[in-house]
Amino acid sequence: MSALETVYQANTQTEPAMIELKGISKEFVKPSGDVHSVLQGINLQIPKGEFVSIVGPTGCGKSTTLSLIAGFEPPTQGKVYISGQKLEGTNQRAACVFQTENAFPWKTVMDNVSLGLRLRGKNKAEANDEARKWIARVGLKDFEGHYPSQLSGGMRKRVALAQCLIVQPEILLMDEPFSALDVHTRHLMEDELLRIWEETSASVFFITHDLEEAIALSDRVIVLTAGPGARVKGDYRIDLPRPRNVAEISFDPAFMRIHQQIWQDLRDEVIISYENANKFSS
């Protein structure tokens, strides 16, 4: 663990972190005129190629953090740096797998996957060739001409993955991407994600409410406190060996030890969040 940490520090000294959040706060003005604080004083560095999961109770601002990194909205206070450069507007070095749908229902699998390249000015033949490779890579070879509505939930996630990775993003954002899938499909997809990710050098920012999923996939798990005004509560390094088998890793004693340790942190926040919710509703 200490060895890993020294490597990590050495990295940050030689090159700027892929993603850096510096003193980030985010507030919304509610329709009633009150100010609702979502995030408060978030500091976070994610180096190149690291797989980071972020967990926290419902409504704690995980998705808000993601949309700040994606550049969908600016922070109220603080700055987002991507490779040392301040982020302005949409983050062109990132791609995102959303919780709901990524695939455009009016486009075939082929057109969906090649879209990123087409938007960046590649001609159709080249983009389609590249897309064909990615479609095969995620195991959808025979479905190039299908529309998303003709595919199962797991297949649509594969399309989403191919659609994101074809533009070779340096940052892959994932907002509870597999939460709508059944447990078996989900394990398959998680394994597939790891397999494909290990061939790239992308940093992954993975949101989930499932601590097991977070530990099984990540190099690092970050726990946020319950909102309003969420902060970083814990930052854990997961030094389980790779490649991993997501379905079986949870039997590993090391996994269980880490799980227990993080759960101590997370549990308190979940309870607070639950009490808050009951307070507001009654």
* Nearest distance in Å: CB 167, another protein: 6
By the rule CB under 8 A, 120 interacts with another protein: yes
By the rule CB under 8 A, 123 interacts with another protein: no
By the rule CB under 8 A, 274 interacts with another protein: no
> For residues 138 and 103, is the Cβ–Cβ distance under 8 A?
no
- The nearer residue to another protein, 162 or 221, going by C-beta atoms, is 162
- The nearer residue to another protein, 85 or 100, going by C-beta atoms, is 100
By the rule CB under 8 A, 168 interacts with another protein: no
Give the separation between CA 255 and CA 235, rounded to whole angstroms: 16
- The nearer residue to another protein, 163 or 218, going by C-beta atoms, is 163
Angle at 187 between CA 184 and CA 190, to 5 degrees: 150
By the rule CB under 8 A, 142 interacts with another protein: yes
The H-assigned helical ranges of the chain are: 2-14, 62-70, 109-119, 124-137, 153-165, 183-199, 211-217, 246-249, 253-281
> For residues 206 and 200, is the Cβ–Cβ distance under 8 A?
no
Phi-psi region of 205 (alpha: psi -120 to 50; beta: other; left: phi over 0): beta
By the rule CB under 8 A, 167 interacts with another protein: yes
* Nearest distance in Å: CB 174, another protein: 12
By the rule CB under 8 A, 150 interacts with another protein: yes
By the rule CB under 8 A, 204 interacts with another protein: no
- The nearer residue to another protein, 17 or 96, going by C-beta atoms, is 96
* Nearest distance in Å: CB 247, another protein: 17
* Nearest distance in Å: CB 12, another protein: 26
By the rule CB under 8 A, 115 interacts with another protein: yes
* Residue found under tokens 């990194």: 69
Give the separation between CA 157 and CA 163, rounded to whole angstroms: 10
Strands (E), 30-104: 35-46, 51-55, 77-82, 85-86, 94-97
> For residues 36 and 189, is the Cβ–Cβ distance under 8 A?
no
* Window 58 to 97, contacts with another protein (CB under 8 A): 67, 70, 72, 90-92, 94-96
By the rule CB under 8 A, 182 interacts with another protein: no
CA nearest to 268, candidates 224, 221, 229: 224
List contacts with another protein (CB under 8 A): 67, 70, 72, 90-92, 94-96, 98, 100-102, 104-107, 115-116, 119-120, 139, 142, 146-147, 149-150, 152, 163, 167
